Amino acid sequence: MLRRRLWTGLALAALLAGGAACAQSSNGFRLPVLNGSAVIPGPQGLKLVTVAGGLHHPWGLAFLPDGRLLVTERAGRMRIVSASGEVGPPLQGLPEVDARSQGGLLDVVLDPKFADNRWVYWSYSEPGPGRSNGTSVARGKLSGDRLDEVQVIFRQQPKLASTAHFGSRLVFARDGRLFVTTGDRLFHRDLAQKLDNHVGKVVRIEADGRVPADNPHVATPGARPEIWSIGHRNPQGAALHPATGVLWTHEHGPEGGDEINVDEAGLNYGWPVITYGVDYGSGRKIGEGSAKPGMEQPVTYWVPSIGPSGMAFLTSDRYPGWKGNLFVGALRGQLLVRLELDGRRVVKEERLPLNEVGRIRDVRQGPDGWLYLLTDQADGRILRVER
């Protein structure tokens, strides 16, 4: 039985007066700290420290080498948060974003060689003809308060009239290739099983957008050569396993059936042919059941749904006994899920309720070894999880 512990204590209602400060971690990274910032007591002896607030539905988070943070807001803004927690003005230079419903400015990552080339990558819903749009990826060089030399390096095809299920997580592999998750756009789920489109897929591209020569469908007639894997619904979590370097993803199911997958080249993850979820409202079965030869089974799944978003493997010693665990944020569940692993098998799940702070959109391990969270609220926050 999953352990559930109620939080104790109350959140401080507002930031107290006082100047900013910076703490130094063991690896030299300057921890963002606000003197007098709100600290919320959490489960298992955790405390949630507010690094920055006043963000409008933040979606993605990246750590700059100098201790500052890059954060996206779904409405179409990217901001720099200083090492003292000060939220800067929107960066200039971003392309047009179709910020409707689930669409907008979404994930952000740094180039593995950012210190030399200054490239920043982001995913977003790019407007198309009429009311159509699609998941796109752009990059630009960070220069002060703007992004220069902006290039769109990937566009989901086809663009569709939908404001939902963009996927959009970005992960650089160890070989420098970029993984991009894309959703099924909600009303177009059957496209997730077809190779002639980027709908409901994980794609793999070079850092400049070119197609890697060893992608699994480069020589498949009629297939989009960027495709890495198929059969996905709405993958909003992705991370490399720290030991193997293999991509892990998670995705939203319909009513139930959220799942985590080990995402490998050329494989089919089943949606919408197989799923552990059912159709919204009606409870009707989707597809052919929960298993079929030639389609992959998830590492784990959730029924009922927790609404997973954001995912990180813990590689630090900050949390005794948790090194090597996988952490997943939850929107609907308003919690942080801790998974103990034995290879590709989940041996224990613990749910850490975060009801005091709301929907968890992203989970990242910082260079200081602490876990950082984004809350998907109109007054969203960056939180550091301490123990």
> Which residues share a beta bridge with 296?
none
Minimal CA–CA distance to 183: which of 218, 234, 244, 256? 234
* Token couple for 202: 């994980």
Strand order in the sheet with 235-240: 235-240, 247-251, 258-262, 300-302
Query: How far is it, in rounded angstroms, from Cα 136 to Cα 121?
Result: 11
Q: How far apart are the first and last CA of the chain?
A: 24
Q: Cα 117 to chain center, whole Å? A: 24
| 57 noted as active-site residue | no
Among 56, 57, 165, 252, the active-site one is 165
DSSP string, 160-219: BS-SS-----EEE-TTS-EEEE---TTT-GGGGG-SSS-TTEEEEE-TTSPPPTT-TTTT
| Residue pair 37/15 in contact by the 8 Å Cβ criterion | yes
Number of helices and strands in the chain (H, E)? 1, 26
* Token couple for 89: 């003005």
Minimal CA–CA distance to 125: which of 146, 90, 152, 149? 152
Alpha helices in the chain (DSSP H): 114-117
Query: How far is it, in rounded angstroms, from Cα 125 to Cα 111?
Result: 21
Query: How far is it, in rounded angstroms, from Cα 56 to Cα 378?
Result: 5
Query: How far is it, in rounded angstroms, from Cα 157 to Cα 130?
Result: 15
Residues designated as active site: 165
